[in-house]
Structure 1
Amino acid sequence: MSFFALTSLRGSYIAVIFALLLSAPVDLYAGPDLSLQSSTPSRSLPKARSDFPTPQDSDQVFYVQRSMNANTVVYKVNFASDGTLSSNRPMSAYWRRFNTTGAVKSLSFLEKSFAYGVSTHPNVDGKTHSVKFAALPKLSVTLRQSDKHKAALWANINNQEYRMISAFLDLDESGLFPKVVRLRLYTSEPNTGLFVTHLVSVSGGDIRK
């Protein structure tokens, strides 16, 4: 089975990021074809665009940037007063409008519903949460708390667990709609302490928004 065996994919270009983590085909709306090109370790964390600000928000666990501009989607975790994950809303997402003032902006209804929104559900172990992204409702990523006021997102890629850090989408803007042509997913590998960049080629990744 192909690593990116996808029969269909729902939502906008943000789905490209999370499709990388799929280990089985899903039955969603049509979308891009993906191919993992390489997974490259490094001692320092690479940066796709040195001129783009890096968000450093409190309780941030993941962020997404694109080549079209510096606007960034930030994912953060929410804690209760005792330092444990909030039982009502452990995780949320919003824009950092770095293309202008860097101000925080809420996701629109459509962005929450079909692109950047997240939902969580406590797992039976009582220690972790299953995280589902709106663009790929059948994809689960684990939100794990390591200490008070400390948590991270984890995903299994090719039977290896990686901590998710960020993603960058390279776009071809020459046509009517921009197309995602390449994804760089930045992670860390806990056993070695190395950073790992997963390079993914993309075809059919039109951005229609």
Structure 2
Amino acid sequence: MQKILILLTALSAYTPAFSQPADYPVPPQTQNRLFYIQRNLNKNTIIYDVNFDKNGNIRKDDPVDVYWIRYEEKGQRMELRAIERRFAFGEKCIPLKSNPEYYRLKIAATDKKELLLKQTAPFKAVVYMKINGKYSKLVHLYIFADTSKFWPDVKYIEIFGKDIKTGKPTYEKMIDP
């Protein structure tokens, strides 16, 4: 019996039981909204919006606008700090040579999952990715990190989307991403 208790205790240390809190705010949906990121540290939210030109096409010189909504303060917009942009939430958007309708979207902190930005109509764009093996429209990410040290240690990322064929919710939890 004692061996079973030790084994269960050891296994529970490697299987985080946390999840995104239900009381976190959902940012208002806008015409330009691609997706958003929330974290366990607080309710402040990182927003990824697409930039369009006057004709409704994705701006090639500045395709994506990334910024904070500071819910812990007054809900105001705030630009990312340079360190946040460079090491965590900043993005690079690179047009695909093989298909100019798509852009490869890279977030500074990781490139383990491929994100593809696509214009679907004038003034409309979405970010696609594989979520739990299904091609999906990315809706949002929740990042759980241990922030007790100088540099946060990401324990897991929850990915929420919608299946592009069925419209049903998709979900994946990446542990130790």
TM-score of the two chains, using structure 1 as the length reference: 0.67
Aligned residues: 159
Alignment of 1:42-53 (within 5 A): 48-53=20-25
Between 1 and 2, higher relative CO (CA 8 Å, sep ≥ 6) is seen in 1
In structure 1, list runs of 5 or more residues that go unmatched.
1-34, 38-46
Q: Give yes or no for contact 2:131–2:159 (8 Å, CA) kept in 1.
A: no
Find 1:156's aligned residue among 126, 130, 149.
130
- Say which of 90, 93, 107 aligns to 1:133: 107
Name the SS for the 2:86 alignment partner.
helix
Once the two structures are superposed, the pairs formed by residues 93-112 of structure 1 within 5 Å of their partners are 93-112=66-85
> 1: CA distance between counterparts of 2:35 and 2:172?
15
Please tell me whether the aligned partners of residues 40 and 145 of structure 2 are also in contact (alpha carbons under 8 angstroms): yes
Matches of 1:176 and 1:118, distance apart in 2: 25
Alpha carbons 2:67, 2:79 under 8 Å: kept? yes
Q: Is the 8 A contact 1:133 1:139 kept in 2?
A: no
Q: Deviation of residue 83 (structure 1)?
A: 0.7
C-alpha separation in 2, matches of 1:76 and 1:70? 19
8 Å CA contact 1:92–1:117 kept in 2: the answer is no
Q: Which has the higher helix share?
A: 2
Shift of 1:117: 0.8
How far is 1:142 from its partner? 0.9
Pair 1:119 & 2:112 matched: no
In the alignment, the residues of structure 2 paired with residue 129 and residue 94 of structure 1 have an alpha-carbon distance, to the nearest angstrom, of 20
**Identity across aligned pairs (percent)?**
27
- Select which of 23, 26, 50 maps to 1:54: 26
- Kindly provide the CA deviation profile for residues 181-208 of structure 1, in whole angstroms up to 9, marking residues without a partner as x: 3321101111121101212333xx8xxx
Q: How does 1:179-198 map to 2 (within 5 A)?
A: 179-198=153-172
Q: Which one-letter code corresponds to 2:144 in the other structure? A: D
- Contact conserved, 1:118 with 1:134, CA < 8 A, in 2? yes
2:120 counterpart residue number: 146
Is 2:65 the counterpart of 1:79? Answer: no
Q: How far apart are the structure 1 equivalents of 2:68 and 2:167?
A: 29
Residue identity in the other structure for 1:122: P
SS of the aligned residue for 2:44 comes to strand
1:3 maps to none
What is the TM-score normalised by the length of structure 2?
0.78
Quick one: which amino acid aligns to residue 100 of structure 1?
E
Query: Per-residue deviation at 1:69?
Result: 0.8
Q: Secondary structure at the match of 2:174?
A: strand
Query: CA offsets per residue over residues 18-62 of structure 1, 9 Å max, x none?
Result: xxxxxxxxxxxxxxxxx9x9xxxxxxxxx9333221112531111
CA shift, 1:88, in A, is 1.0
1:127 is displaced (CA, Å) by 1.2
